[in-house]
A and B are shown apart, each in its own frame.
Chain A
Amino acid sequence: KNEVEQSPQNLTAQEGEFITINCSYSVGISALHWLQQHPGGGIVSLFMLSSGKKKHGRLIATINIQEKHSSLHITASHPRDSAVYICAGGGADGLTFGKGTHLIIQP
């Protein structure tokens, strides 16, 4: 059983919709990371958070330490947001990754 679980695995939405991707983890972590991976592309770090909420442009990430749960939200989604979004937990000694959420935003 993976120690980091994401849902949904696949998500297709229309441009402009509000998107939520969820992540639950069963391991003790010092930080929770949200990463973005485009097809054939490298991985880009979106957020690293250990408590509360962070916002960057149209992206918002939240974490509830007690419930071991984090969410990534995308407001006013756009086709260029189409990518795989990966949740990862861990600390300085390496990350444990979820399997990713494949997001497609249709125009």
Chain B
Amino acid sequence: DTGVSQNPRHKITKRGQNVTFRCDPISEHNRLYWYRQTLGQGPEFLTYFQNEAQLEKSRLLSDRFSAERPKGSFSTLEIQRTEQGDSAMYLCASSWSGEQFFGPGTRLTVL
């Protein structure tokens, strides 16, 4: 399967812990996006990369959120000091020509 993959698929953590999610895009795609989706809502944009450059990060939800794409391939999204309000589905998508291909998401539950 050469689609977008995300790991883990599910993460349960206690409030205050740090979590890190990984996204592996389609290999030839240069753009990678992170979105968050809460129950019953459409996704909201968090950040994106073109190759290894993070071109937009002002919409990350707080300074507890950070993302990296060190070699222009896979990306990680880290949330420090998690809060219950961080519970959501975190989606990754990649693209080459504009159409975005989405991964299955990582569902985060913060207890």
Tell me the A residues contacting B by CB distance below 8 Å.
4, 30-31, 33, 35, 41-45, 48, 86, 88, 90-100
Counting contact residues on chain B (CB < 8 A from A), the size range is 20 to 34
Q: How far is the CB of B1 from chain A (nearest CB, A)?
A: 12
A-B pairs with beta carbons under 8 A, tally: 58
Q: Can you name the residue of chain B whose Cβ is closest to the Cβ of A43? A: B102
Contact B33 A42 (CB under 8 A): no
Instruction: Choose the segment among B15-23, B37-45, B62-70, B72-80 that binds chain A (4+ C-beta atoms closer than 8 Å).
Output: B37-45
Q: Can you name the residue of chain B whose Cβ is closest to the Cβ of A87? A: B42
Contact A97 B100 (CB under 8 A): no
Contact B45 A42 (CB under 8 A): no
Q: Which chain B residues border A31 with CB–CB below 8 Å? A: 98
Contact B43 A97 (CB under 8 A): yes
Q: Can you name the residue of chain B whose Cβ is closest to the Cβ of A97? A: B42
